[in-house]
Each structure stands twice: as structure tokens, then as C-alpha cells.
Amino acid sequence: MSNKTKHLSVAAIQLNNTADIDHNVDATVNAVKQAAEQGAQLVVLQELHRSLYFCQVEDTDHFDLAESIPGPSTTLYGKLAAELGIVIVTSLFEKRAAGLYHNTAVVIESDGSIAGKYRKMHIPDDPGFYEKFYFTPGDLGFEPIQTSVGKLGVLVCWDQWFPEAARLMALAGADVLIYPTAIGWDPRDDNAEQQRQLDAWMISQRAHAVANGIPVISCNRVGHESDPSDQSEGIQFWGNSFITGPQGELLAHAPSDDTSTLAVELDLSHSEQVRRIWPYLRDRRIDHYQDLLKLYRD
């Protein structure tokens, strides 16, 4: 990003997916166009937005949803980005080779080219989120992607719980942290437990903004998706997509029960001002952090 460009209009699109892929794609494209009409220069899409969240079950047929990069989705969103003159952060099920798949975010430049990609590094394996069955952990590291609107620190969902990932993106010069996400409640959890989970999710990501002095864009899906195996009550994706400034201040916040397009203008010059007052990077004691390279201190 040039020194003169300090303001960035961004949008995060929160949608309710269905089993109809064409419907999902059409809804996403329409929402991107509407965001661009509102002035967005950067549009962020939710995790695996092309289909239902298929990781609720382990089923080899779901590998048919995967696609190559470049491929159909990058071609589609490349044309859309070029048509609108915007940068798009999209998310797809990447087929790298037969038997080798990733959960991958792709950044499309405003001329339609692929600016870069990020392969999800932290892969969960929990009831309803059987991602280790589908996704090989990423091998591209934590490298921001340079675009015409700045250096984007793109991470994906489960990555959002790990401060190390956010810090490494910030240390590499990211102007903003971006989290395409698919997270929700087990409908069997009571209201108090659901609130604790949602609060923890937002607190963690807002803390990444604070600790690194840069904005955060977190884009989740919304709506109920049934468990194809009928072994659970499915997932109620909790929406609540949000955008923060560099002190974790909420600039935009979506509802828990409806689709939404969040659109705000980020003042990137504010990040530098915040870092001057709160110089966490200056005061890091890297000479005493060796134990962070251990899995656990026994």
C-alpha cells in the first residue's frame, strides 16, 4: 500500500448456505456486487462459502467438492474482482493432488489475478468439525499477501484461537488480520454455554487486534445446517461477524440470526498511532521466548 493510501473501505459478507451450490454462488456474487456498490475496496467471504459445511461427517464423496487453484472458483471471482475493481478474499476446498487437499483462502487482486493463497495451518478434529479427515495442514506458513490495498494477514477459522498465528502475520508486516470462519453452536448447549463460547470467540480475536495494533475482519456464516448422519442436531452457525480497529474496538457487528454485509472504512494510519502509544513489538523479550518452540513444558 502506498504511503498516501491510509483509508480502506472493507466489507465482510455473512450468508446462510444451502445444499444448492448454484444458489450459494449466486447469493455470494450478488452480495459482493452490493458491497462494491457501497464502496468496498476489499471484500471478505466466509469459510467454505460454496457449499454446506460438509465436515460434520466423514464421507469420501465430499472430496468431489474440492477444486484446483487456479480453477472454477478462482476464475469466477477473478472475473468478478476485475469487473468491480476490488480485492476479494475467497475460501475454497483445494484439491492439490489426488488424496491431498487443503482448506485454502485465496486472495484475488483487483485485476482478477491471484495475489496469493493461505492454506489453513491449524486443523480441528472435534464432534461436528471433522476437518482432519479432509484437510492436510498448510505448508505456506504465516505470510501476509501483498495486494493493491495493503498486506493482508489471512488466516482461517481455527487459526483464530492461536495468538502465535496472529503475531507472526503482524511481524511480517500485515496491515490487517482476516479470518474467514465457519463456527457455531451445538443446539443442545444451553444459552449460558452458548454465550460463553461466543464471548470467548470475540474476545480472542479482539485481543489479536489489541496485541498487534492492527484491525481484524472476522467473517462467519449463519443459519442451521443439519447433520447428514443424524447423530447430532447439526450446527447452528452463530453469525456475529465483526470488524475491529487496532485497539479491538468494534466498528461493525452482524446479528446472530440473519445474513448481513458489514461495511466500514478502516483508518490504517490509526494503527501506527496506536503502536506508538502501545509499543508491544518494542518490548517483546525474544531472548526469553525459546520455550514457545516446545509443545509443552513438562
CATH number of the domain that residue 114 is part of: 3.60.110.10
- Is residue 168 over pLDDT 80? yes
Give residues with Cβ within 8 angstroms of 221, minimum separation 6.
14, 15, 16, 17, 46, 47, 49, 53, 181, 182, 184, 237, 239
56-74 pLDDT tens trace? 999 999 999 999 999 999 9
The whole-angstrom separation of Cα 85 and Cα 80 is: 8
pLDDT of residue 77: 98
Question: Residues 188-197: pLDDT tens digits?
Answer: 999 999 999 9
Domain contains 286:
no
- Annotated catalytic residue 294: no
Whether residue 295 lies inside any domain: the answer is no
pLDDT, tens only, 263-282: 999 999 999 999 999 999 99
Question: Which one of 120, 131, 219, 225 is the catalytic residue?
Answer: 120
pLDDT in tens, 213-260: 999 999 999 999 999 999 999 999 999 999 999 999 999 999 999 999
94 flagged as catalytic: no
Report the number of distinct structural domains present in the chain: 1
2 domain residue, yes or no: no
Look up 6 and say whether it is catalytic. Answer: no
**What is residue 95's three-state secondary structure?**
strand
Q: Per the domain annotation, does 290 fall within a domain?
A: no
Q: Which of 95, 109, 131, 157 is catalytic?
A: 157
Question: Quick one: pLDDT at residue 3?
Answer: 43
Domain around 141: 7-281
